Every structure is written in C-alpha cells, then in structure tokens.
Structure 1
Amino acid sequence: MQINFKKEILPHLLGIVSFYTLIVLYFSPIMFEGKMIFQSDILQWEGSAKEIQDFREDTGEEALWTNRMFGGMPAYLINTEYPGDISRAVISVITLGLPHPINGLFFGMVAMYILLLTFKVRPEISVMGAWAFAFNTFNMLSLEAGHNAKIWAICLIPLILAGIHMAFGGKKLLGFSVTALALMLQIRFNHLQITYYTLITILIYAIGQLVYYIKEKQLPEFGKTAAILILGGLLAVGANSNRLLSVLEYGKYSIRGEKTLEGNTQNESGLNKEYAFSWSQGKLESMTLLVPNFSGGASQEALGEDSNTEKALQQNGVSGAQLSNFIQGAPTYWGDQPFTGGPIYGSIIMVFLFVVGIIYAPKRFRNIFVAITIISLMLAWGKNLAWFNFTLFDILPGYNKFRAVSMALGITLFAIPVLGCIGLENLFSDSDQKRKLKGLLMSFAIVGGITLLLIVLAGAFGFKGTADTNFPEWLTSALRADRKAMLQKDAFRSLAFITLSAGLIFLAIKQKTTYFYATLGIAVLVITDVWTINKRYLNDESLKKNPSSSYFAPTAADKKIMQDNGYFRVLNLQNTFKDARTSYFFNSLGGYHGAKMRRYQDLIDRVLQPEINQFIQKAQEGSFDYQSLKAVNMLNTKYILAGQGENGVFQNSQANGPAWFPGEVVPVSSNEEEIQQIPNINTKTQATVNTSEFEAQAGAGSVSLSQYLPNELHYSVNARKGGLVVFSEIYYPAGWNATINGEAAEIIRTNYLLRGLMVPQGKSEVVFKFEPKTYYRGSFIAVSSQYFIILLLIAGLVMPYINRPKNGRER
C-alpha cells in the first residue's frame, strides 16, 4: 500500500492548519491572554449550576437535583455528567485541545470540509466553504450570547450529512460510523431544536436521493442504505440513552409538556404559539443574507461620526455623555423580531456562488440544497408565514416544544455554502468556455442586480422600527435616514465583493490565472467579508478577564444574607424569573431556564407574580405586608432582595420554614380549583390536597430539617397527632422517593406543587432521596454504544487502506 503524501495528505493537512490558525487569530485574546467571551447566557448557567458543581467537587457524585432554581428542578437539565461517558474525551481529541466553546467553530470547519470532499469538491474550494460556514454571523452572535450547545449542534450537521452521503456513495461502513458518531455528539449537546431541524434536512436529502434511485430503478439499493443509516441513528440514540431518557421524562412535566390547568386555553401540550413564534424573522429581513445592515444591524448599533441622528440630537440640545451614549447604542434595527444581536449573514459571495450552484450543480443535489434553503427560510419566518408554520406547529410531532424559530437560519447558512461550492466546482470542471462565461454572467447579473436595486430603491422600505414610538418625530426621521444610509453603504460593500469574486472567476475562465489562485483569491475575499462583519459584534470588547469573578462578586446584600446558615429561599425582586445570579449563592424562587416545570410556571403566572406585584406596590407606600405573601411564604422565602446594599435586604418573618403541620386539609377536586385556593388560604395552617388523587388528614406536631443535600433531605418529626406534613419542596413524581423510619411512603402533592407526607403519631425520621431510574437505566446502553461507534469508525477508516493493493486500486 502506497500513500501519495502530496496529493492525499498535504492538501488536507494544510486545510486543517488553516482552520486552526483562523480560530487562533480571531480569538487570540482567549488563546494568549487568558480572556473569555462575555456570554450572558453562560453567566446565567454558571449561577444555576453552582450547587451542582460544588456537590460534584465535594463528593465526587452527581446531585441530579438542585434547589437553587425555581424552588427546585432536576439537575440534568442544567449540568450533569454521566458515568463512563467518553464523548467529552472524543471532543477534546477531534478539536486538538482548543478551548470550549471556540472548539465548536474549528470542528464545524472540519466537518464542512469533509462534507464538501464527499461531493467531490476540490480541497481549496472545500476550505473556502468551511471558512464561510464557521464564520457566519449566526455562529458568532450565538457564541457571544452563550448559546454554545446550539453552535456545536449546528457545526455537526455537515458531518452527519457527510456520513449519509458516504453511505449513499458506496462507503457504507464508513458512512454508517461517521453518521453514528456525528449524531451521537449532536444529541450529546442536548439542543433538540437543532436536532429536529437536522432531521428535516436529512429528510429532504433522503427524498432527493429516493427520487434519483427510483429513476435509476435502484430502489432496493436505496432501501438497503437507508436501513443501515437508520441503524446508525438508533446507535447514536443508544449512545445518549441515559441523557435522553432523563430529558424526555422531564419533558412531560415541563412547560413543553401537557397542560396542567383544566382552564388553560393553550395547546394540550407544548408551548403556545405567541411564545413559540415570538422570534420570527421578517421575510424582507432575509435580505441580510445579501446586505448585512439591510435591517439596521443589531437592536443597539453604534452610528458613525456626523450621522443624521447625532446632528439632530445636537440641534435639539442633547450633548455630552447623553449624546455619546445614544449614538453608541442607537436603535438602528427595524426588523420584525423583538430584538437582535446582529444580522444573519454568511457572505454575499456565498449567495453569488449559490446561484452559480443553481445553474451548474448536478440536478439531484441542486434540488436538495435549494429545497433545504427555501424550507429553512420558511421555518425562520415563523408567524410571518403563519399558514405554513402554524400548520406545522399543530401537526408535526414535538414541533410545538420549540421556540425562537429564527434559529432555522442556521440551516440556511449551512445549505448556501454547500451548493455554492458544488456549483463552483462544476463550473470550473466544465470544458465549454462560452457556457461557463454565460453562467457566470447570469449569476452575477442576478445577485449583483438585486444588490444594486437595494441601493437605488432603498428609500422605499420605510425603515420604521418598533423603538421609534418612544421618540419624537425629529429623532425618528434622523434614525430612518441613518438606517437607509447603513443599508446603502453595506449594499455597495456587497456589490464590491461579488464584483471582485466574479472578476477572479472570469480571469480563470479566460486562463489569465489558474483556478487554484482564483479560488484562493475568492477564499481571501470570503474570510475578509465575514471577518469584518463579525468584528462589529464579537470583537476584543466582547472578551474579558474572567467575567464570572466580577459578575458573581458578592454584594453587601449577598454578604448580609450569607450570615444566615439556615435553610431558606431568597426572592430577588429584580428580574426574578429571568436571572440566575441569585442562584449562585442561595436557593431562589427565580432563575434562568427555558424549560421550567409546568406547575411552577402556572404558580408564577397565576399566583406568585400577582402576589409579588401587590407586595411591591404596598412596600412602596410604606407597608410591608408579609402575611399577604401566601405562595412566597409556603416556599420558605426568608429573605427578599431589593438591591445590592445591606438596606436592600428584607427579612420575611412570615416564611413557613422547611416543613410544618397544617391544622386543616382543604379538599379540592381539580388542579384549577387548587391553584385558585392558594391566594385564599393561610398556608401555615391550611393545605390543599386533590382528593381525586390523594388522601390526607390534618395532624399536629413539629418538624425540623436535620440534614440537607441537594438530592437527599432528612427531617425529624414529632407528631402529637398523625397526619399531613407539608414540605417546602417542589413535587416531582419522577425520581423522588420518601421513607418514614426506613419504610417507603407515598409522596402526596399538596398546595398545587409542594410535597406532603402522612406521618404517624410520635417521633419519626423522614428521608427524601432523588433516585431517578432513567439516569441509571440507560448508562450501560450508552457506554456500550459509544465504544461500539468508535470501533466501527476505526474499522471504516482502516478497511479501505487494508483492501487497497500497492497499485492503489481496491481489491
């Protein structure tokens, strides 16, 4: 067996080096200065995961439950490690030790490079496509926001499709193992919405291949390949069985599961449409694929010197810091979304090449990737294409669990460079010079013509943003003039990039330069294009020295509460249910998570939020009515936080404590009736129990918490009269077990979402343990599947070389 190093290894090695180099250069402060990206969502995650990580560090075990967020929730929705899981080690190896999360972008380039090679695209074009895919603004904006799992899930899509394409290309073992590995890693990152979009992408590809195989009368071969790939998918699912079983089990009890309240008018299960489609991209806004600043960039964008807005502000007496602050964060965005961190853009050059692909790519693949592009755009338009998306929302299994449908643009920015690179490869391979020139001219005329029209007709768009209603007419007029100028400036920029790219291709066709150097020149233009746009949003200012240390530095208020070593919860009145900073230090009524428990969300909407608002209103009038906080008190909320200073801490003397005997059991027959009772009862002396599900009688006595761990709580009970004890802990039926003096006991749901137990008269010890069977049940299957996938991949990579004789042809 002989390997031609120059042809078979060197081009790929240079490609990998270029990927690594680009990551190092763009993120040099991370690589060389120890800085980190200031990711707001990751800071929130750190707050929510603190108790879990501390428990792991102290005990070497997994907590599986945390009481730091929303009164308590499963930890495997936040941060859980699984025994025997080798996926983390696999990721470290395939990303050459690059730090998380920027290693995802590196691997995205590798994955796209492999995919394009499987479509027989030459290495230099494949490298260009890989650069464009990884450095699109969708990835960079997601990185800045802290959506690391989303980035990884998207960056694995090319490798998943590469494996599938290999299998359909005859390399069944290698294709099977690559598909299984890539899908295993994607599922590991637990971004089910991107995985759902991936399955839609695969389905479109499969339909395209099916049509081809039917025409070629090779349907049995299609069936055989599809069956092999389905087995690979099942193996990937098996490799994540412990993770998936736990998440799927929790899904039934989350806001994405079935409704709890009988009077709820939203869907029987899943999210309501208003919430799910709140981030829908406008149809016209998709023009940002051609012109980055078509919709004004980010919700807050810095305007240049001598802008119309700056002049208008100066003319109306605004100056100094007020003027500077407004100009540096002007509301330039005029798209359809509530707000945005920046435009969705992956280089105008790739859109130009995409049109080349429509003309030159093989019909089968042209149809597949055009369909993927169109459908992903339609999905991203959400409520702006209601007839399509609302229908899918109602009929597609599981689709109503997802929100922020503009996320589908990640698929758009995957499909465009794939077809673009296939198109350029086929244009270069065409032997007819006249046909090549005609195709080039047509592609340039289409994309260049649209861009030119955007410049000429820019005034027709109106440029009205949702923020404009807050400003006087003189200011909105200036803002709209600046938005128009931003569009036209970027449109000229885009036109320049495609003109230069088309010029390089023209020179290559005319044999004034080689195709290699033309491709290299276009690649430089592509990376220059996306690099400079990305630097508007993710730049050195986004990188900080350990942002966690400053964000989580204890305030005077935190330190005051820390002096109390008891067991309690804290209510932070500032952004209560969308901030997890409080969770870093204390058990919190609030937090930050996209999949709260359904019953807790019900309590927030129907009881907690109105109760808190009423308390704040009275407090502002000088009356601190702690007794009115019925639900807050039953959640053992000892401290209310209203600021960062010591005077921002208020001790709630009416908190119910960890557990208590209510003197009266209030029977209810439905969830709706029960939640309506919470604001009306005295939660210290009364407790609701749904008698259609549980039986309970009132008792009397005392209860104290004797030992606390996140997944295990011990109580000492002294009952003068046996009966119901209410615990200020969230009821979750899938994993919590209770014993009374070592004997198993039924956990009763009381007060809509708290735990209760019927205890006997006298002294007893109550122990709650969180022992979810799904976590343990899937471990053996997951570990076995992971090792099997790795062995299959090694076999798939080695077998072709073993079977290849010295003359280089396979036996």
Structure 2
Amino acid sequence: MPLNFKKDIMPHALGILIFYLFVLFYFSPIVFDGKIMFQYDILQWEGAAKELLDYRKATGEEGLWSNRMFGGMPAYLVSLEIPGDITNTLIKVITLGLPHPINSLFFGMVSMYILLLGYKVRPEFSIAGAIAFAFNTFHLISLEAGHNAKIWAICLIPLILAGIHLTFQGKRLLGLALFALGLMLQLKFNHLQITYYTVLIVLIYGLGELVWAIREKAVPHFAKAIGILIIGAILAVGANLTRFMTVLEYGKYSTRGASNIGQAAEGQGGLDKDYAFNWSQGKLETLTLLVPYIYGGASTEPLPENSQTEQALRANGVDNAQLNGFIKQAPTYWGEQPGTGGPIYGGAVMLFLLVLGIVFAPKKDVYIFVSIAFLSILLAWGKNLAWFNYALFDFLPGYNKFRAVTMAFSMTLFAVPVLGSLGLEHAFRNSKDPKLLQKLGIAFLSTGGLALVIWILAGMFGFRGSVDANLPDWLVEPLQNDRKAILRSSALRSLIFIGLAAGLVFAAFKEKVSAQLAGIGIALLIGLDLWIINKRYVNEESLQFNPSEQYFAATPADKAIQKDTGHFRVLNLDDPFNKARTSYYFNSVGGYHGAKMKRYQELVENALGQEIQNFIQKAQAGDFAWNEIPILNMLNTKYIVAGSAENAVFQNPANFGAAWFPTAIKTVTSNDEEMEAIKTLPSSDVAVVNSSEFGAPKTGSGQVLSVKAENPSQLTYEVQADQAGMLVFSEIFYPVGWKASVDGQETAIMRANYLLRAIEIPQGKHTIQLSFEPDSFYKTKLWTVLFQYLVVLVLIGGLVLYFKPSKS
C-alpha cells in the first residue's frame, strides 16, 4: 500500500520542523550570530585537551597520553578520536547540521517522538511529550555547565527504548536498527553513569515484558526479541570497542578503581561514600518537578524589584553597588544540597498528564514507567535515604563508581513524558468512559490541588538555608520572607498552567475543540512554560562570541614561563587540582578531570596537598623552602605560579629534572611504606622502590644529556651512564601500554617513588625512548569502524523494509 503524504509523512515532517525551529529560535545567537555557550566544564576540558587537539590538527594522528594534567595520564577520557570513525558524520546528518551541543536537544525531541509513535501515540501528543523531555531545566542547566556528553547520552535513551519496544512489538529489523544506533551513539559519548541508568530502565522494561509474556503464554516471542536485542547490543559495543576496551582498562587504575594504600586497598574499590553522595536531593525537594521554585531555584537568583531583602539593605545603609550585586545574586536556595545550578523541573503540565497516564494508560505501561520514576527518585535522594542507597552502593555491581546521584533524576525526566503522553492518548481513546470527567478531575486535583496546598501552607516551611549563618541577623528574616514569596509565586504559576491544560482537555472531551487542537495547545503550554523557566539560566548572558579566547589569553606569568623551551612542569597555586587553565600552555602538576589516576589522587590526599600548604605558609613568611618539597621536586616542578603577573612566577632551583640516577635506593615492601618514604626524600640521590613488586635494582651514575618530546605519547632521552644502574624519570607510571627501549632494545619499566617510571640501563651513552602503545587502542580500532558500518547498513535495511510499500 503506497504511503499517504498527508497522513504518513506530513505530520512527522511538521513535528521535526517544530523541533528544529524550537532549538533554532531558543539558541538563535549560537546558530545565526556564531556565539558560544559559556560552559565552565568545557573550558576546563579545552585546557586539558589542548596538547592533544594541537597534535591531532598538526599530524592527523592521535595522542594517547596526555602530559598536561596531573603529571600525565591516559588520554582516553580527555580527547580520543578513532581513525575512520563515522559517528561524528552520522550525528551531523541526523541533527540536520545543528551545532554542538544544542543538537543534542533536537535529537532528544526526535528520539522521544519516535518512541511515542512506537507506542501509537498520535503525532500532536507525541510532539508535546518530546518537548517536555528534551527541554526540561535539568538538561538546559547541565548544558550551561558544560555536561554535553551527559545530555547527549540522556537524549538517546528514548531511541534505545524505541528500538527495544518495536522489537517486542514484532517489528524486529527496525527495532534492531534503532536499538543498535541509539546504543552505539550513547556509548560513543562515554558517559557510563547515564548508560548505567539506561540499563536500569531497560531491565525494568524487560521485567514488565517478561511478566506479560508469562501471563499471555508468549515466552517464545519474548525469547526471540531478547535474541534480536543481544545482536543489537553486540553491534553497538563492537562499534565502540576501542572506547570500551580503553576505558575498561583504565578504570582499574583511575579514582574509580581500588585503593592502593590503607585498609581500603583490601576493599572492592570505588568512590568514597561521602564524595559519591555529596549531592543528594532532599526528599521534599523532589517537588521541584511540579513547583520549580519551592526551594528557591538556583544557589543564587535575582530578587524582584523592591523585595524585602532590598528594603532591609537600604534601611541598613548598604551602598548601591553592593546592594545591586547582592540582589542580582541573592542566596535564594535553601535546600539540602551544597549548591545547585537550578531546579529539576519537569513541567507542571506534564505532571498533570502523568496522573492522566496513571489512570488511563495500559496497566503494563503504568507499572513500568512508574517503577522507573520511583526508583529514580529513591536513587536521587542518596544520603537522605541512606539505608537504601548505601546498601546499593556496597552491593550493586559498578554502582560505587558514580557520584552526583541527583543525576538519577534523568530516569524520572524520561519516564514522566512517556507516561504523560500515553495518558493523553488513552484518555481520548476512552472518550466513552462514563468516569472520564471524574478521572480528569483526579488528575487536576492531585497536581493543581497540590500546587494550591503548597501556596496556602507556604508559611509552614522554614526557609532557612545553610548560607544564612553567614548573614547579619537583620538580613536573614527579610531574605526568608522573599523565599516564601518566590515559593508562592511559583506554586500559583504551576496551578495556572495545570488549569489551562486541564481546561483544554475538558473542552476536547466536551467536543468544544478537537483533540488535535487540544494536543497542539498542550504542546504550546509545555513549550512556553519550559522556555520561560529555562531563560532564567540559559540566556543571552550565557552566550559569548569566543569565551575561550578570553579565558585562555596569555597572562604576563604565562609569557614569562613560555620563554623556557625545556621539559618541565608548572604548579599553579590557584586551586591547582580543580582547574585546567595551566594545562592549556604547560605540563601541569594539577588539572581538572573526574577520573584522574588513583595513585595520583592518593598522592594528593596523603602527601602532596599538605606539602603544598606547608610551602605556601613558609613562602608567605619569606622562606622559599625548595628543599622541603620533595614530591614537587620529583615531579619536575620547575615553576610555581601565584598569580597572573610576571613577578608571580617563582623558579624552583631544587627540582630533580626530567630524569636522574639515584645513588641510593630505599626498598620498602608495601604501598603505605612507599608513600611515607617519599614525603622525606632528601634529594634526587635517593629513590624508593617496592621490592615486593620490583625487586632491588642497582644504583648507577651519569647524566641526562637531552630530552625531546616527540609527541604526547613519546619521549626520547640522550643519556650518559657512567655506571650501569637505575634511571628514574619524572613521568607517571602506568602499568599498561608503556614501552621503554635502550638503543632500540626493549627493557622492563619499574615503578619508583610511588608513581614514577624507572628502568635499568647499561654503562655508556644511550638513546632511550618511552612510547605509549596500548593494545587496547591499536588492536581494536579497525574492528570498531567495521562494526559502525554494520550498524549503518542494518539501519538502512530496517528503514527500507519498514517503509517498503506492501502488496496487500
């Protein structure tokens, strides 16, 4: 049967056009003016990746090791492109050329639209659900912070589930194609925490389908679908084999891996609980899904004109400059988190539709998506539901590798639009239901009524924030009254939007307007609601023409260090382990990365951090105790920077250099002893070696004649060894992939001083080369590209067969 343009093509073309225009106009300065979103995390990434990006641009090859951060680390999670990778081109095609990262929101809407069509939701209702999913505040705030990979990974969840759902519905080839495509792209963005949540969503969906299959005696059908999806998973993993293998390899040695020292070294590894659950959602804070400003919004929000806080500041004689600064960034947030970029708001209209879904949608779908949302909320509560989440942290495989558990709300923000759209669809399918208006009333009263109750009972909340202790008493009460006013205004706003949506549905039930017009109206309400809220966080002020140009503009301090063309590292005392600006120009002792090497993090926590603090205290008193910073010295820290001026650069005369021959070796038998020993190294004459792992190497003597960095993954040394023995390098030891050769003959690499490389060399003049050649990259890159082409071929085949006109 040939396709009907008006019925089969035009509604979907209009839907995609709406999504495209929505993104186009919201981010028009990016699309039309060439502006860029000011994303702090992306600026830090740019600093960290500069060496790798420059090398790729100059040579077309990949640098697999980054020298610019934390003394050196694998580049797998910094910047890695696989030769022949077609996924970037594929993304440009399917997002119709929209720029990164806003193209993720467009494709998020398309993905959700496809999923809802798979559930047989009519296009106008699917459009409403798609907008609600992609443009929730969590996504926009995350993009503004620079969490681009996270948002892309989330926006691919609907496509993954669409493939799974279509497979279970009997459309196996198309389901296989969409599932493989969605999972391939999600794995490409390498956000394992979101992939973990995706697995939980799929497991809940699969459990629901299994229960249904057992009841309907359709287990063989279920088994066939699972077999098809296993093939899809193999294709998706194969298309990311290089990324998968490199990350799997590195995970054991990163901060996500097991500890090397103390009692924790005997445990299962993973993050510290306090660190992992630091950002945990308060239980009542979950109501921001319905009333966005119930807890004041972001950590700081502008207050309205003539607020009580402004009046109090004027009454107490605060000058206009300070007053305006405080009003523009008032500490309105009073929730339990250390801070927040804004509320997690799912849209009041969509929460209303969610209840419609619970009362109208098929029970199987209700159980599945309510379970997803419920589990998500429990996970996001984190330490505020410690008995549950600490147990999962200890026993659920892999869960202890992740932090910022509020991210689990991505599951709720996915499930709510699906069930809400299903509710709208099935409400209109059941228009003859005698209890139709009663069920509509339940949905309105349970959401609009809750918003009204919050508005009425606002005075019962405490409105006390953690920052209040730092404010004068005369300012605290007016600020708390303003927080109360913000809550009431927000609750009333949600009530109005819910009332308008309920009115549209009621009018359609009474046949005063068509279902199609009601659906379009609801989509407009959802879009308007989210547009207004999001513009508080991502607006003209968030966009600049070239934020990196200003951020990385060379300072007098940078220019002074750039005169030195040698091989060395720099320590910037300005929050060194949470910023990567220094890495833009120099090999840095610090940096910015969520998964640095475990040994380096242990070094910072147990020795280096305190060493830096002691040095600063003495330096402030005029005593530059260069010989009392042995760890910085062994890391070849030649310059310490205490500001942006040229005179803020201090050259370290005691650093050990790029490599050296120790004249004495202190052997220890544990990592703990090794850590303690390096705290008091007198000079480069003494090295520490764990004899239980590397034996007792011999000492030698000589000098390093020259050092040449061939590329990020290769170093060459010219060395004169007067006596055969051990040579220690100021380079970070990584046990997989590094190869050392002396005059072309490969030799074993040892670990010295807890985390440095060392080798034994014979007497005489030698050329030493250290090269990073991990099998996890070189032996998988061809297979990765081949699997990507297979996924594309399956996608083309699936689409052709699905849209091929039927003879019947």
Same fold (TM over 0.5): yes
Aligned match of 2:700? 699
Does residue 1:338 correspond to 2:338, yes or no?
A: yes
Provide the C-alpha distance between the structure 1 equivalents of 2:176 and 2:803, rounded to a whole number of angstroms. Answer: 18
Aligned partner of residue 767 in structure 1, secondary structure: strand
Partner of 2:154: 154
C-alpha spacing 1:265/1:780, structure 2 compared with 1 (3 Å): closer
Pairing 1:382-421 to 2, within 5 Å after superposition:
382-421=382-421
Q: Is the 8 A contact 2:34 2:545 kept in 1?
A: yes
Q: Secondary structure at the match of 2:702?
A: strand
Residue pair 1:266, 1:272 contacting (<8 A) in 2 also:
no
- Check conservation: 2:95, 2:107, Cα contact below 8 A: yes
AA at the equivalent of 1:720 = D
For the 8 Å contact 1:240–1:782, the answer to whether it is kept is yes
Once the two structures are superposed, the pairs formed by residues 611-622 of structure 1 within 5 Å of their partners are 611-622=611-622
> Structure 2: how far apart are the matches of 1:321 and 1:241?
56
* Residue type of the alignment partner of 1:701: G
- Give the C-alpha shift of residue 613 in structure 1: 0.2
Structure 2 residue identity aligned to 1:658: A
SS of residue in 1 equivalent to 2:76: helix
C-alpha distance in 2, partners of 1:579/1:331?
25
C-alpha displacement of 1:316:
1.7
Residue in structure 2 matched with residue 770 of structure 1 by the alignment: 772
Looking at structure 2, the residues matched to 521 and 218 of structure 1 have their Cα atoms a distance apart, in angstroms, of: 40
* TM-score normalized with structure 2 length: 0.99
Q: 2:735 aligns with which of 714, 733, 736?
A: 733
**Is contact 1:150–1:194 with CA below 8 Å preserved after alignment?**
yes
Deviation at 1:431, TM superposition (A): 3.1
1:294 partner amino acid: I
Q: Is the 8 A contact 2:23 2:106 kept in 1?
A: yes
Task: Please give the residue correspondences for 1:426-441 in structure 2 after superposition, counting only pairs within 5 Å.
Answer: 426-432=426-432, 434-441=434-441
| Structure 1: distance between partners of 2:719 and 2:166 | 65
Alignment of 1:520-535 (within 5 A): 520-535=520-535
Shift of 1:3: 1.3
Give the unaligned 5+ runs of structure 2.
none
**Could you tell me which residue of structure 2 aligns to residue 669 of structure 1?**
669
Matched-pair contact (CA < 8 Å) for 1:631–1:683:
no
Letter in 1 for 2:686: Q
Equivalent position SS for 1:56? helix
Choose which of 782, 798, 801 in structure 2 pairs with 1:780.
782
Residue correspondence of structure 1 range 107-126 to structure 2 within 5 A: 107-126=107-126
> What is the 5 A alignment of 1:219-238?
219-238=219-238
For residues 661 and 757 of structure 2, the distance between their equivalents in structure 1, rounded to whole angstroms, comes to: 12
Q: Is the 8 A contact 2:3 2:805 kept in 1?
A: no
Task: Note the alpha carbon deviations across 1:252-304, whole angstroms, 9 max, x for none.
Answer: 10010111113447953010111111111111101100111011100011111
Using the alignment, how far apart are the partners of 1:747 and 1:72 within structure 2? 16
Is contact 1:719–1:763 with CA below 8 Å preserved after alignment? yes
1:552-585: CA deviation from partner (whole Å, max 9, x where unpaired):
0001111111111111100000010000000000
Deviations 1:179-222 (A, max 9, x none): 01100000000000000000000000001111111110111211
Any idea what SS the aligned residue of 1:588 has? coil
Describe the SS at the equivalent of 2:797: helix
1:802 positional shift = 3.5
**Within 2, Cα distance between the matches of 1:404 and 1:774?**
29
Aligned to 1:347: 347
Tell me the residue number matched to 1:99: 99
SS of the residue 1:292 aligns to: coil
Structure-2 separation of matches of 1:334 and 1:315: 24
Task: Please tell me the residue identity of whatever aligns with 1:785.
Answer: F
1:451-462 counterparts in 2 under 5 A? 451-462=451-462
Partner of 2:806: 804
Deviation larger for 49-58 or 427-436: 427-436
1:722 match: 724
Aligned partners of 1:371, 1:414: CA distance in 2, in Å? 12
The one-letter code sitting in structure 2 at the alignment partner of 1:172 is R
d(CA) in 2 for partners of 1:587, 1:513: 66
Deviation at 1:472, TM superposition (A): 2.1
Letter in 1 for 2:698: Q
Paired AA for residue 670 in structure 1: S
Aligned equivalents of 2:166, 2:267: Cα separation in 1: 41
Letter in 2 for 1:631: I
What is the distance in 2 between the residues matched to 1:704 and 1:516? 79
User: How far apart, in 1, do the equivalents of 2:132 and 2:204 lie?
Assistant: 23
Matches within 5 A, 1:310-325: 310-325=310-325
Q: What code does the residue aligned with 1:183 have?
A: L
Q: How far apart are the structure 2 equivalents of 1:724 and 1:607?
A: 25
Structure 1: tracts of 5 or more residues without a match = none
Are the aligned partners of 2:159 and 2:182 in contact in 1 as well (CA < 8 Å)? yes
Secondary structure class of the residue paired with 1:294: coil
Quote the Cα distance in structure 2 between the aligned partners of 1:735 and 1:259.
Answer: 21
C-alpha displacement of 1:359:
0.2
- 1:745 corresponds in structure 2 to 747
**AA paired with 1:332?**
T
Cα distance between partner residues in 1 of 2:456 and 2:53: 57
Correspondence 1:138 to 2:157 = no
Contact 1:263–1:672 (CA under 8 A) maintained in structure 2? no
Asked if residue 188 in structure 1 is aligned to residue 188 in structure 2, the reply is yes
Question: Is the Cα contact below 8 Å between 1:299 and 1:333 reproduced in 2?
Answer: yes
Quote the residue 1:660 is aligned against.
Answer: 660
2:727 partner SS? strand
Q: 1:410: Cα distance to partner? A: 1.2
Q: Distance in 2 between matches of 1:31 and 1:741?
A: 54
Aligned alpha-carbon RMSD (Å): 1.1
Note the alpha carbon deviations across 1:337-364, whole angstroms, 9 max, x for none: 1111000012100000000000000000
- Aligned letter for 2:379? L
Structure 2 CA distance, aligned partners of 1:117 and 1:644?
56
The Cα of 1:777 is off from its aligned counterpart by 1.6
Residues 747-804 of structure 1 show CA distances to partners (whole Å, capped at 9, x for unaligned) of 0100000001111111111110000000012122211211111111111111134461
Contact 1:64–1:80, Cα closer than 8 Å, also in 2: yes
Look up the match of 2:326.
Answer: 326
Contact 1:359 1:423 in 2 (8 A): yes
Give the Cα separation in 2 of the matches to 1:385 and 1:231: 38
User: What is the match of residue 284 of structure 1?
Assistant: 284
Residue 62 (structure 1) aligned with residue 62 (structure 2): yes
In 2, the alpha carbon distance for the partners of 1:357 and 1:528 equals: 22
Report Cα offsets for 1:466-486 as digits up to 9, x if no partner.
Answer: 111111222221221111110
Shift of 1:322: 0.9
Question: 2:171 & 2:330 partners in 1: Cα distance?
Answer: 54
Matched letter for residue 644 of structure 1: S
Provide Cα deviations, 1:381-434, integer angstroms capped at 9, x if missing partner.
111111111111111111110000100111111110100000000001113254
Aligned residues: 806
Deviation per CA, 1:302-351, whole angstroms, max 9, x where unpaired? Answer: 11111111111222221211111111111111111111100001210000
**Deviation digits for residues 54-93 of structure 1 (CA, Å, limit 9, x no counterpart):** 1111221111011100000111110011012111111111
Work out whether residues 258 and 265 of structure 2, in 8 Å CA contact, stay in contact via their aligned partners in 1. Answer: no
SS at match of 1:78: coil
Contact residue 35 and residue 544 of structure 2 kept, 8 A: yes
What TM-score do the two structures reach when normalised by structure 1? 0.98
Separation (CA, whole Å) in 1 of partners of 2:274 and 2:713: 36
CA distance in 1: counterparts of 2:286 and 2:706, whole angstroms: 57
**Match of 2:597?**
597
Q: CA deviation at 1:704?
A: 3.2
**Conserved? CA contact 1:62–1:81, under 8 Å:** yes
Q: Distance in 2 between matches of 1:44 and 1:803?
A: 52
CA distance in 2, matches of 1:38, 1:243: 28
- Kept in 2, the 8 Å contact 1:719–1:760? The answer is yes
| Aligned counterpart, 1:240 | 240
Alignment of 1:3-42 (within 5 A): 3-42=3-42
- The CA deviation at 1:703 is 1.3
Q: How far apart, in 1, do the equivalents of 2:798 and 2:190 lie?
A: 27
Aligned counterpart for 1:761 among listed residues 760, 763, 772: 763
Secondary structure class of the residue paired with 2:293? helix
- 8 A contact 1:658–1:705 mirrored in 2: no
